[in-house]
Amino acid sequence: MLVLGIETSCDETAAAVVGDTPPYIRSNIVFSQLAEHRPYGGVVPEVAARAHLAHLDPVIERALAAAGIGFGEVGAIAATGGPGLIGGVIVGVTEAKAIAFARGVPFVAVNHLEGHALSARLAAPVEFPYLLLLVSGGHCQLQIVEGVGRYRRLGTTIDDAAGEAFDKGAKLLGLGYPGGPAIERAAQSGDARRAPLPRPMLGREDCNFSFSGLKTALRLAVEKRGGRLSQADRADLAASLQESIVASLADRTAQAIAQFLDRYPEGKTLVVAGGVAANNALRSRLEQLAAKSGLGFVAPPVALCTDNGAMIAWAGIERLKAGLVDGLDFAPRPRWPLDPAAVPVRGAGVKA
Ligand code: KG4
Ligand code: ZN
């Protein structure tokens, strides 16, 4: 069976065709709205919604053409149903429902976070349960993935997400948007020891994250240099910011590994997913950590880490296999926690 996946929850308009047998990914088209948002230094929801509307039809056409199929060969439509910028989610869900209705095929509303969570199983044969570090521009969570639609949250951020920390840091350093890749590039020629920054939450017993203090520390470090940064300053601060974020993520993940193995001694795998999982310093730190804990480590290829339609189509396939289909009355959700039973955390900017 071939599933068309549609992703419109942030600033990528994406569509993909994925099958339930190898080679799973038949096409994976991502139109990045970067150019439209860059003048504002971040994603503008209204601009994103309009851009999705303008680009979604051609992106779907390209995905079908690249897979060498027409609508007649699509067995089901999966679309991100939330969480995300609601204008964009509405565009994707409405389009998906219309196609599903016109073609008489099932419609699956996919939680964007579940798309990231299950992307590991599209990349490699990962068995449930596994421990997931989900790090993106909007989310920063540690979840035990017990099965399709079954999650246990171990930790979340009490303010910013890891990707936000990269993005806001890059803005402070004048490195442009999006920040993650820019920081990673600048960090290559920098020395973190020349510009030490705090490492948030280290050693705490819970598995939560916090990055707003780090952002303030970076701002103060920039101000201390009179606001004028040399190339070398920029590189050192970028290296230090990356080191602090990676150290904090690794420390929180180590804490979560202990809790995961406590609950599931047979657990075998640590998975990282989401846009920040593209970061090489983070990947190698987590790989070491997993090895030390006797766990395997899976990080999907970069194209499956940042937002894409293939992970949504794949999550759709996993849900269909589990007998989960949605009605055309599904209402797009701006918020949609993976583990609704998780105890809310307290913090200045708690999201979900
Ligand atoms: O998953 P994603 O594409 O969109 C969301 O669902 O948020 O993640 C985007 C985030 C951005 O904050 C971006 O700066 C970050 O992922 N990112 C990176 C890297 N590539 C993308 N962060 C660190 N290092 C990278 N190489
Ligand atoms: Zn995402």
Question: What is the average pLDDT across 141-161?
Answer: 97
- Alpha-carbon distance of 28 to 309, in angstroms, equals 6
Q: Mean pLDDT check: name the lowest of 147-151, 154-158, 346-350.
A: 346-350
**Helix, strand, coil abundance in the chain, percent, nearest 5:** 45, 20, 35
Residues in a beta bridge with 40: none
306 CA distance to ligand 1 centroid (A)? Answer: 6
164 CA distance to ligand 1 centroid (A)? Answer: 8
| Ligand 1 pocket check for 115: Cβ under 6 Å | no
Tell me the per-residue pLDDT of 44-59, one tens digit each, with 9 for 90 and over: 999 999 999 999 999 9
30 CA distance to ligand 2 centroid (A)? Answer: 13
| Ligand 1 pocket check for 137: Cβ under 6 Å | yes
- Listed by start position, the domains of the chain span 2-118+303-321, 128-299
Question: Can you give the pTM of this predicted structure?
Answer: 0.95
Indicate the length of the chain as a whole number. Answer: 352
DSSP 3-state of 22: coil
| Ligand 1 pocket check for 136: Cβ under 6 Å | yes
Tell me the per-residue pLDDT of 277-286, one tens digit each, with 9 for 90 and over: 999 999 999 9
Q: What DSSP designation does 41 have?
A: T
Fold annotation for 128-299: Nucleotidyltransferase; domain 5 (3.30.420)
265 CA distance to ligand 1 centroid (A)? Answer: 32
Atom nearest to 11 CA in ligand 1: 4
The residue whose CA has the least distance to atom 18 of ligand 1 is 180
Residue 40 has a pLDDT of 86
For domain 2-118+303-321, the question of CATH label 3.40.50.20 is answered with no
Mean pLDDT of the chain: 96
Question: What is the average pLDDT across 243-265?
Answer: 98
